[in-house]
Homo-oligomer: A and B are copies of this chain.
Amino acid sequence: MTATPSESPVAPFCERLEAQMHATDSLVCVGLDPDIERLPNHLRSRPDAILQFNRAIIDATCDMVCAYKPQIAHYAAVGAEDQLQDTIRYIRERAPNVAVILDSKRGDIGSTAEKYAREAFERYGADAVTVNPYLGYDSVAPFLAHTDKGVIVLCKTSNAGSGEFQELQVNGRKLYQIVAEHVAHQWNEHGNCLLVVGATYPEELAEVRQRTGDMIFLVPGIGAQGGDVDLAVSHGMRADGGGLIINSSRGILYAGSDGQFATAARAATDELRLAINCARTSKS
């Protein structure tokens, strides 16, 4: 994506993200989805276990990632919004150029969506947020109005049952293809839209790429969900070898046990970065 002139003091999200991908030579996003039951023994009993775990993961990986993606349900389930806020603050201190994507998949009518936009961008200070398209453009407009922020719209999700509605045929096109086209061609006037397309569906990654040009995709589903890195990259990447944010959560967070979880997380991140970069090179 070519940088476009902007009078805003803050560069647009996609521009900042591309710069970070370039600086770290990495398309890796680490999903910060802490699960109390799976945290190392020495942290689990601490009242700030989630924050301490996240800090260690961030310390271990922040020079080799383009983004962190906290999934808000993991915090909301246990009333740990304060630890989510502190985690994001820590990312800002430790690695100010790494993008923070709040994965909350919000979707509601306009007046409520304004509140959710405030939650994501003001309360948590996220750089980007995931949203659900089911309610249509007017439900996403309050997010899009934050022109320096990224709005990442669910398109083809990584779960096994995503086809139930997303693959319904509408006049020869599937629903997720129509969502992709509306987002790319009607919703994106500020250039701040991205799409979620699961690594578990490489053919669909290729189809969405074809319909949306240079748009950036957030790609979950690598690792625990079974998505293949080579296939995801070869089918989803842009001609320039970019255009993908490839997320791994459990595969990085729980790569090692107890005392060496952070070292193992770094090794897993490095391995994923390398696998992605090899796939980018061999395709280019």
10 contacts between A and B (CB under 8 A): A79-B81, A81-B81, A135-B159, A136-B163, A136-B166, A139-B157, A139-B159, A169-B170, A169-B171, A170-B170
Residues of B within 8 A of A136 (CB): 159, 161-166
A76 located at the interface, meaning its Cβ lies under 8 Å from any Cβ of chain B in the complex? yes
Contact B178 A76 (CB under 8 A): no
Residues of B within 8 A of A119 (CB): 73, 76-77
Contact B159 A115 (CB under 8 A): no
Contact B112 A71 (CB under 8 A): yes
Contact B168 A73 (CB under 8 A): no
Among B138, B166, B179, contact of A159 (Cβ-Cβ < 8 Å): B138
A22 located at the interface, meaning its Cβ lies under 8 Å from any Cβ of chain B in the complex? no
In whole angstroms, how far apart are the Cα atoms of A220 and B108 in the complex? Answer: 12
**CB neighbors of B among A7-52 (8 A):** 33
| Complex copy number for this chain | 2
Interface size class of A (residues with CB under 8 A): 35 or more
In whole angstroms, how far apart are the Cα atoms of A241 and B162 in the complex? Answer: 36
Residues of B within 8 A of A137 (CB): 161, 164
Residues of B within 8 A of A274 (CB): none
A182 located at the interface, meaning its Cβ lies under 8 Å from any Cβ of chain B in the complex? yes
Among B115, B135, B157, B168, contact of A162 (Cβ-Cβ < 8 Å): B135
Cβ proximity bits A109-139 to B, threshold 8 Å, 1 near / 0 not: 1101101101100110000000011111111
Residue of B nearest to A170 (CB): B168
Contact A161 B132 (CB under 8 A): no
Contact A134 B154 (CB under 8 A): yes
Tell me the minimal C-beta distance from A80 to chain B in angstroms: 10
Residues of B within 8 A of A78 (CB): 118, 123
Cβ proximity bits A148-167 to B, threshold 8 Å, 1 near / 0 not: 00000010011111111110
Tell me the minimal C-beta distance from A259 to chain B in angstroms: 26
**CB neighbors of B among A69-123 (8 A):** 71, 73-74, 76-79, 81, 105-110, 112-113, 115-116, 118-119, 122-123
Residues of B within 8 A of A170 (CB): 168-170, 175
User: What 3 A-B pairs are tightest by C-beta distance, nearest first?
Assistant: A136-B164, A138-B161, A73-B115
**CB neighbors of B among A242-269 (8 A):** none
Beyond A132-B134, A154-B134, A164-B182, whether A159 also contacts B109 by CB under 8 A is yes
Residue of B nearest to A76 (CB): B119
In whole angstroms, how far apart are the Cα atoms of A177 and B172 in the complex? Answer: 19
Residues of B within 8 A of A76 (CB): 81, 115-116, 119, 123
